[in-house]
């Protein structure tokens, strides 16, 4: 459900805001450093001896990239300028809709307030200078240690007209996982949003038929959340009883 955009997908030579002399290949400076939201220990979420990977002692910081400051480089400034100008023409202050602009690993991401998601998406689709006509997927993300924005929906948009890729990201709290559906803007999201709902519990208001797409209708919980238990059932194999994954011994 994810899509990456490397420099080769950005069409720097054709669509860039300038060549190397203008910093087209220079990473955008940060307005702030990485935002640390937690520390992850072990592997696969296993606790109390269930980690069979041998990485039980692994400790890793969980950090989100900070906001970038201009110039962003490549064609990113052109798109940001056009989007902000188009929103202003609709009497919407860009700062109210765009919470943060991130340039990281050659990718451009606009963090959008959920109440303005539909308008921003429609503007990106319809503005002649933007023309992001296709949404190729919706990725769910779960950060249980980030209070107030535990759940994220990430939209991967592609401009067939201009040969560009960007992402929109919306965060919502675990206790209120609602955000507007984009099916009216991108009909292909009918299936993408159902999958994000099924696995992460994101509720897309206005979706024509928000039902599970992979799990049984009566399934309890959302399997791709990080706090979802490993669970499992024991399996009999050649006379031996193999314990469920969360009951297997650790190698550490």
| DSSP secondary structure letters along 140-181 | EEE-TTSTT--EEEEEEEEETTTTEEEEEEEEE-TT--EEE-
Contact yes or no for 125/160 (Cβ under 8 A): no
Residue 108 confidence (pLDDT): 98
pLDDT digits 0-9 by tens, 83-141: 999 999 999 999 999 999 999 999 999 999 999 999 999 999 999 999 999 999 999 99
- Rounded Cα distance between 42 and 26, Å, is 35
Read off the pLDDT band of 26 (50, 70, 90). Answer: low
Contact yes or no for 138/152 (Cβ under 8 A): no
Contact yes or no for 222/198 (Cβ under 8 A): yes
DSSP assignment, residue 28?
Answer: P
Q: Which long-range contacts (CB under 8 A, 24 or more apart) does 80-86 make?
A: 80/108, 80/110, 82/127, 82/129, 82/130, 83/110, 83/120, 83/123, 83/124, 83/127, 83/130, 86/123, 86/127, 86/130
Longest dimension (CA), the chain: 71
Sign of CA dihedral 191, 196, 199, 204: negative
pLDDT digits 0-9 by tens, 173-222: 999 999 999 999 999 999 999 999 999 999 999 999 999 999 999 988 99
pLDDT at 81 over 80: yes
Read off the pLDDT band of 231 (50, 70, 90). Answer: low
* Dihedral pair phi/psi, residue 120, rounded to 5°: -65, -45
Residue 200 confidence (pLDDT): 98
pLDDT digits 0-9 by tens, 234-244: 777 788 887 77
Instruction: Write down the mean pLDDT value for the chain.
Output: 85
**Measured torsion, CA atoms of residues 193, 194, 200, 203, in degrees rounded to the nearest 10:** 70
Sign of CA dihedral 90, 16, 160, 153: negative
- Rounded Cα distance between 215 and 218, Å, is 8
Contact yes or no for 169/109 (Cβ under 8 A): yes
The HSE-up count of residue 10 (CA atoms within 13 Å, CB side) is 27
Q: Which residues are within 8 A (CB) of 204 and not within 5 positions of it... i.e. 6 or more apart?
A: 179, 180, 181, 182, 183, 193, 196, 197, 210
């Amino acid at each position: 459900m994810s899509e990456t955009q490397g420099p080769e997908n950005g069409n720097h030579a054709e669509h860039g805001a300038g060549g190397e002399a203008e910093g087209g290949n220079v990473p955008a400076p940060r307005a702030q450093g990485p935002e640390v939201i937690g520390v992850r220990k072990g592997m696969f979420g296993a606790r109390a001896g269930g980690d069979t990977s041998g990485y039980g002692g692994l400790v890793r910081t969980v950090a989100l990239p900070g906001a970038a400051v201009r110039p962003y480089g490549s064609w990113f400034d052109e798109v940001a300028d056009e989007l902000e100008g188009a929103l202003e023409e609709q009497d919407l202050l860009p700062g109210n809709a765009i919470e943060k602009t991130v340039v990281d690993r050659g990718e451009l991401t606009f963090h959008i307030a959920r109440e303005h998601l539909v308008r921003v998406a429609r503007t990106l689709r319809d503005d002649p200078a933007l023309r992001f006509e296709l949404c190729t997927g919706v990725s769910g993300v779960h950060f249980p240690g980030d209070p107030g924005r535990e759940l994220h929906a990430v939209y991967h948009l592609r401009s067939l007209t201009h040969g560009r890729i960007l992402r929109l990201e919306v965060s919502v709290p675990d206790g209120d996982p609602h955000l507007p559906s984009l099916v009216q803007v991108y009909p292909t999201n009918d299936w993408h949003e159902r999958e994000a709902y099924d696995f992460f519990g994101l509720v897309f208001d206005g979706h024509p038929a928000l039902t599970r797409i992979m799990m049984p209708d009566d399934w309890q919980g959302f399997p791709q959340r990080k706090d979802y238990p490993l669970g499992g059932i024991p399996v009999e194999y050649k006379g031996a009883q193999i314990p469920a994954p969360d009951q297997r011994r650790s190698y550490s």
